[in-house]
Amino acid sequence: MKNKIVYSILILTTMLAITSCGKKADSKETEKSINPLCAESSAPFGAPDFSLYKTSDYMPAFEQAIAEKRAEIKKIIECTDAPTYANTIDALELSGRLLDKVGSIFFTLNESDSNDEMLSIENNISPKLTELSGYIYMNDTLFNRIRTLYDNRANLGLTEEQSIVLENYYKEFVRGGALLDKKEKRLLLDINTQLGLESIKFGSNLLADSKEFQMIITNEKELSGLPESVRQSAKEAAKEANIEGWLFTLDKPSCIPFLQYADNRSLREKIYKAYYNRGNNPNQYNNVTTIRQILKLRQQKATMLGFDTYADFKMDVKMAKTPEAATKLMEAIWEAAIKRAKQEAAELQKMIDSEGGNFKLEGWDWMYYTEKLRKAKYSLDENEIKPYFRLENVRDGAFECATKLFGLSFVPRTDIPIYNDSVKVFQVLDEEKNHLGIFYGDYFPRKSKRSGAWMTNFVNQLELGEYNVRPMIVNVCNFTPASGDTPSLLNIDETLTLFHEFGHALHGMMTKAHYPSVSGTNVKHDFVELFSQIYEHWAMEPEVLKRYAKHYKTGETIPDALIEKIKRASHFNSGFETTELVAAALLDMKMHSLTDYTDFDCNEFEKQLREEIGFIPQIEYRYRTCNFAHIFNSGYSVGYYAYLWAEVLDADAFELFKERGIFDATTAKAFQHLLEMGGSEDPMTQYRKFRGAEPNPQALLRSRGLID
């Protein structure tokens, strides 16, 4: 996604006893040694108190939390009573609360505020977590308790949510190796351990290789074409790095404006190639071998579990069900998109020729001439737009849409601890002004943060037994920061990203499931992007723009003439935008549909796929294999197509809003149920109920302007 959803279930609850990580804190002498990660937080709502945590706290906290989780699972295994839903499934759902807490804090910060010590801890803890997973999912006694319930599920009087949770557990255990013999279980555990370590290695390599690149400019003439705000940001970046001149990096707020505006073609080529070649350079951070090893291990795992390919294994639990179904959708979109992309390329080449450029259009020319063409065709200049899109105003616009749709309100909180000074915190209240959740906004790049944008949780929702815990949600982005007297101003893509990630946040905060494993964004992978992508539609609606798009200097509301320009240009460059996305999704799916990776060369595979699908050379895959973190360092392997699958739903759903009114109360209330149910109900059944019909794939093509 523009976003990525990481590390699912955290339930931050009051500990029954305050313990140190490794021993009971039952005296004044030991009280001083209590690990704050293992103690009850005194912060409002029990929020994590980052001011108390040291990096050295994580490993002992993990060790204690793993021991507690293992003990809780052991108690379920050794229960002599006949299996019931309460003593087996409920007990599993409530186990590991400390591990959820420690893991969610650690992994969230390791993505957004990391250091070398954190990365080392990740390497050390990954095998321990894999071993714990093996202890749970490969235990015959525990599986037999679940299977007994599963085989008798029709007679248990379960709710739909309970039935789904039980079925999920049964499938997870089978997919985790429960039906394998002892030798195979040991092998699968070893494979999972290696996969975890290789994934960490991929991510570490990518981060290091990305940060390795610096383009330092000392001759001001080479800044020709760049807006003053971009120059100022580069000047400040150089100053921070103790460098003379102007510094450009591979962080998107730095490299994308350079590709859009820099007149120096050779420098555009340099930064373009550096961006798309991350993880593929001839240095210690090269990911080619790591990728081959991951693919081999994944295929070995899939075969052991009875699937022909890893793609078949992953798709078995998705809405699309099969690689063929997902591929069919992608190919249908591709046909319309590549036709448009070729037309766009020809138009850009025509502009190059008209200016006397004696060269053929290349990838590093596309954004530059697209901006020129946008201005020529629509009199639309990004620098004319950005003053109206101050970050805080855009964020408040996203908040206000949630208020008008669902009755939510957002209260700034300065008493809730933050992990970085730039993070902002809000308490979220529902329509009756009851506490709904906590929202953290972390919007700016830093050396300790990976690139991209994503939503994650510090605390996940739970309403089971004596527990009623509301979620704590984080949006992490990498937007252009303030520079000098100029605040953080977003372009349209960044504005859509903010709304996108906030759509995920709403999904996480509004959930009303009972069981944490189906709470919030814990839904089928190709359903989750519906809620982020549909929220993007509101961002550019004229009615909404007039509420939040105010000039940062004058306070003037964005004029109708500029809104009309944005509207007319909304489908401009859609061929490029669609093909780069679909090509990456096809790359993911087809790469994981192979059966033999002995001599696999990811670079060669990319070239072969280009020829197979007729991908024009002037456009690059949105992510090349060596920097495709979604599929090698996250949960999106055989899942990048999900953006397109969900886009059919979001485009189809928003057409209903447009038909009835974008803030129609009845439609919003019906859609609210989809947000609240999490994974506790069948997604397609409930979507059909909301829409009153099957989702129409043509809606996606209409939304992207690829058909009328």
For residues 60-75, one letter each, b for 16 or more C-beta atoms within 10 angstroms of the residue's C-beta and e for the rest, the string is bbbebbbebbbebbee
Beta strands (DSSP E) in 300-340 are: none
CA pair distance 645, 1, nearest whole angstrom:
12
Tokens representing 50? 């980052």
What per-residue confidence (pLDDT) applies to 450? 85
Question: Does residue 4 have a pLDDT over 60?
Answer: no
Q: What is the pLDDT of residue 5?
A: 37
- Summarised one tens digit per residue, pLDDT across range 126-138 is 999 999 999 999 9
> Does the structure show a pLDDT above 80 at 368?
yes
Q: Is 432 helix (H, G, I), strand (E, B) or coil?
A: coil
Q: Kindly report, residue by residue over 525-575, the tens digit of the pLDDT.
A: 999 999 999 999 999 999 999 999 999 999 999 999 999 999 999 999 999
Q: What is the DSSP string of 209-245?
A: HHHH--EEE--GGGGTT--HHHHHHHHHHHHHTT-SS
* Tens of pLDDT, residues 618-644: 999 999 999 999 999 988 999 999 999
Residue 466 pLDDT class (50, 70, 90 cuts)? confident
CA atoms within 13 A on the CB side of 525: 23
pLDDT digits (tens, 9 = 90+) for 415-454: 999 999 999 999 999 999 999 999 999 999 988 888 889 9
Tell me: pLDDT of 19 over 90.
no
User: For residue 352, what are its two tokens?
Assistant: 């190059």
- Domain boundaries in the chain? 5-206, 213-276
pLDDT of residue 3: 39
Q: How far apart are CA 360 and CA 690, in angstroms?
A: 49
Q: What is the pLDDT of residues 201-254, one digit of tens each?
A: 999 999 999 999 999 999 999 999 999 999 999 999 999 999 999 999 999 999
The number of angstroms, rounded, from the C-alpha of 495 to the middle of its chain's C-alpha atoms is 16
| Torsion angle of C-alpha atoms 625, 627, 630, 631, degrees rounded to 10 | 30
**How confident is residue 18, by pLDDT bands cut at 50, 70 and 90?**
very low
Q: What is the pLDDT of residues 397-417, one digit of tens each?
A: 999 999 999 999 999 999 999
Check residues 1 and 452 and name the one with the higher pLDDT: 452
Which of these, 654, 682, 656, 372, lies nearest to 536 by C-alpha position? Answer: 654
* Token digits of residue 462: 């739970």
- Three-state SS across 504-565? HHHHHHCCCCCCHHHCCCCCCCCCCHHHHHHHHHHHCCHHHHHHHCECCCCCCECCHHHHHH
Paired residues of 456 in beta bridges: 6, 474
Q: Which residues does 59 contact at the CB level (< 8 Å), separation at least 6?
A: 121, 124, 125
Residues 574, 258: Cα–Cα separation, whole Å:
21
463 strand-pairing partners = 468
pLDDT at 675 over 50: yes
The single-letter code of the amino acid at 659 is: E
Burial of 429 (C-beta count, 10 Å sphere; 0-12/13-18/19+): middle
Give CA–CA dist 4/279, Å, rounded: 19
What's 331-378 look like in SS3?
Answer: HHHHHHHHHHHHHHHHHHHHHHHHCCCCCCCCHHHHHHHHHHHHHHHH
Q: Which residues pair with 694 in a beta bridge?
A: none
Distance CA 74, CA 21 (A): 20
**What's the pLDDT score for residue 29?**
40
Tens digits of residue pLDDT in 583-624: 999 999 999 999 999 999 999 999 999 999 999 999 999 999
Active-site residue (options: 72, 93, 501, 606):
501
Q: Which two tokens stand for residue 396?
A: 């408040």
pLDDT for res 401:
98
**Structural contact between residues 405 and 416, judged by C-beta atoms closer than 8 angstroms:** no
* Contacting residues for 622 by C-beta, under 8 A, at least 6 apart: 580, 581, 583, 584
Q: How do beta strands 454-459 and 5-6 pair?
A: parallel
- CA distances 592 to 279, 287, 292, 615, 676, Å, are 19, 17, 11, 19, 33
What tokens were used for 251?
Answer: 């962080």
Residue 657 pLDDT level (bands cut at 50, 70, 90): very high
pLDDT > 80? residue 17: no
Question: What are the structure tokens assigned to 230, written together?
Answer: 């971009």
| Pair of tokens at residue 350 | 């025509």
The rounded mean pLDDT for the chain is: 93
Euclidean distance between CA atoms 258 and 532, whole angstroms: 28
Residue 688 has pLDDT above 90, yes or no: yes
Residue 374 binned pLDDT confidence (cut-offs 50, 70, 90)? very high
Q: 10 Å Cβ neighbour count for 121?
A: 19
d(CA 133, CA 364): 45
Give pLDDT, residue 489. Answer: 96
pLDDT in tens, 139-197: 999 999 999 999 999 999 999 999 999 999 999 999 999 999 999 999 999 999 999 99
Q: State the pLDDT at residue 89.
A: 98
Is the Cα torsion angle 403, 407, 408, 409 positive or negative in sign?
positive
Quick one: fold of 5-206? Neurolysin; domain 3 (1.10.1370)
344 catalytic per annotation = no
If you average pLDDT over residues 370-374, what whole number do you get? 96
Could you give the CA distance from residue 461 to residue 464 in angstroms, rounded to a whole number? 10
How sure is the predictor about 55, in pLDDT bands with cuts at 50, 70 and 90?
very high
Whether 312 and 592 have beta carbons less than 8 Å apart is answered as no
Sheet holding 454-459, edge to edge: 5-6, 454-459, 472-476, 435-442, 424-429, 409-412
Question: Which band of pLDDT confidence, cut at 50, 70 and 90, is reported for residue 24?
Answer: very low
Question: The dihedral of CA 303, 309, 311, 317: what is its sign?
Answer: negative
pLDDT at 635: 84
Cβ-based burial of 39 (10 A; exposed 0-12, middle 13-18, buried ≥19): middle
Max CA pair span of the chain:
84
Q: What secondary structure does DSSP assign to 611-680, as a single string?
A: HHHT--TTS--SS-GGG-HHHHSSS-TTTTTHHHHHHHHHHHHHHHHHHH-TT-HHHHHHHHHHHHHTTS
CB 587 within 8 A of CB 609: yes
> What phi and psi, each to the nearest 5 degrees, are found at residue 454?
-160, 165
* CA proximity to 280, closest of 269, 292, 268: 292
Would you say residue 14 has pLDDT above 90? no
